[in-house]
Structure 1
Amino acid sequence: MRAYYFDNLPGDVRLPHDSKRSVPIETLTKINVLFWNVPVDIEGGWRKRIDELSAENDFKCNDTIDVTKEGLGDQYETMLEEFFHEHLHEDDEIRYVVEGAGYYDVREHPTDEWIRIHLGPGDLIAIPKGIYHRFMLDEQDRIYGLRLWRDIPNWTPVLRTKESDSNQYRVKYLESLKGTAASASSQGWAEWFSSLVTFRH
């Protein structure tokens, strides 16, 4: 994983768009975007580790994602356009990359700058409900991995508008960033990711 500020220059959004302004993991943590690495191995042990992790943390379900021209067929370009529209979700977005690579762009608060996060095999990211973000493949044009959910799957995007700023999940997200005391959701993130330590070895 590598994070930096998006350069906002025109051009193919599959390119890095690296402003050369790096973003430390502490900055991501402050906006409740968390990351870890669960190594991918050729024996498929990653799947067992993810399943064990899900059971320990009461994740209700997961499924595979295959964002490729072959996997999405005629919907490929349309789906990528939808992924790249700025939006929020009313559920936590938790993704694990097995093959390929891609970018999550997340809005930093309160600057509203785009932070670009480049993910590759073994990277696990948790994007909190209520944060504005978008997704795009990199130049490899492929990503395969898992989507994980705490509850019933809900991946319906809420596009950014004036109305979305008052969305209850957006409001709760912003409230969670205030003060020095961690919110309940932030504590949940921390507890969940601390359990990942055992999966690094």
Structure 2
Amino acid sequence: MVSAWLMDNDSGDQRLEHHRSPPVFVSLDDLSKTAGVEYFKVNLESLDTELEDIKRKRGYSYEDEINISRDHLPNYEEKLKIFFQEHLHTDEEIRLVLEGSGYFDVRDHEENWVRILVTPGDLLILPAGIYHRFTLDTNNFIRAKRYFVGEPVWTPHNRPCDEMECRKNYLESMKKKMEE
């Protein structure tokens, strides 16, 4: 099961857990309600059955695989810096972890960083317009599938970009969720 928690303000090694003291954990329900993040646990042994259903329901028509490690990713250090810059996308970001582990950090409705640990079998869906970032943990390796609706678009828009339509739509949808 995925773990998520509010991060401390330590600017040290981004690959560490960065728990507050005392730790403040965030439930999947709260993560969904306050940030719009969706989570599925996928059995990697029966990947085709479960995943095909999710892909069909959500309209994912394209997929590829990313291997983030010093040995497999060209410009490794530079790419890690780019992934860890706070940004948003105009489309959902969908990742299924196949091997390894890492952290997705997302902003909640109060602008706190919520750190989400992802490990094999975790399928994480970040909504379009959410500010987020990614980093490896101290294992320095993750292999994941990326899914897209239509042709892949992976253009990060670094903060600030609050005037983008996807950001406005995201904030409006979160406001409605909070009122429910």
TM-score between both structures, scaled by the size of structure 2: 0.91
Q: Equivalent residue for 1:33?
A: 37
Q: Partners in 1 of 2:112 and 2:141 — Cα distance?
A: 26
User: Residues 14-163 of structure 1: matches in 2 within 5 Å?
Assistant: 14-19=15-20, 20-30=23-33, 31-41=35-45, 45-47=46-48, 49-73=50-74, 75-109=75-109, 111-161=110-160
Q: Partners in 1 of 2:32 and 2:54 — Cα distance?
A: 21
1:56 Cα deviation from its structure 2 partner: 4.6
1:140 Cα deviation from its structure 2 partner: 0.7
Amino acid at match of 1:23: V
Amino acid at match of 1:14: R
- Which consecutive residues of structure 1, in runs of 5 or more, have no partner in the other structure? 183-201
Q: Partners in 1 of 2:36 and 2:54 — Cα distance?
A: 20
Specify whether residues 180 and 173 from structure 1 end up closer, same or farther in structure 2 by C-alpha distance, changes over 3 A only: closer
Quick check: 5-14 or 75-84, which moved more?
Answer: 5-14
1:53 Cα deviation from its structure 2 partner: 3.5
Q: Partners in 2 of 1:85 and 1:124 — Cα distance?
A: 22
1:10 Cα deviation from its structure 2 partner: 2.6
Q: Partners in 2 of 1:26 and 1:181 — Cα distance?
A: 12
Aligned residues of 2:43 and 2:50 also touching (Cα < 8 A): no
Q: Partners in 2 of 1:56 and 1:6 — Cα distance?
A: 33
1:55 Cα deviation from its structure 2 partner: 3.5
Q: Partners in 2 of 1:53 and 1:179 — Cα distance?
A: 25
3-state SS of the aligned residue for 1:99? Answer: strand
- Which consecutive residues of structure 2, in runs of 5 or more, have no partner in the other structure? none
Q: Partners in 2 of 1:124 and 1:18 — Cα distance?
A: 23
Residue deviations 1:125-181 (CA, integer Å, cap 9, x gap): 0000000000000011000010001222111000002xx111110001001112359
Amino acid at match of 1:177: M
Residue deviations 1:8-31 (CA, integer Å, cap 9, x gap): 113111011111111111111112
Q: What is the aligned counterpart of 2:168 among 142, 167, 171?
A: 171
3-state SS of the aligned residue for 1:130? Answer: coil
Residue deviations 1:7-63 (CA, integer Å, cap 9, x gap): 11131110111111111111111121010100223xxx3245424532454311110
Residue deviations 1:163-201 (CA, integer Å, cap 9, x gap): x1111100010011123599xxxxxxxxxxxxxxxxxxx
Q: Partners in 1 of 2:123 and 2:5 — Cα distance?
A: 17
TM-score between both structures, scaled by the size of structure 1: 0.82
Say how many residue pairs are matched.
Answer: 175
3-state SS of the aligned residue for 1:22? Answer: coil
Whose helix fraction is larger, Structure 1's or Structure 2's? 1
Q: Partners in 1 of 2:178 and 2:115 — Cα distance?
A: 27
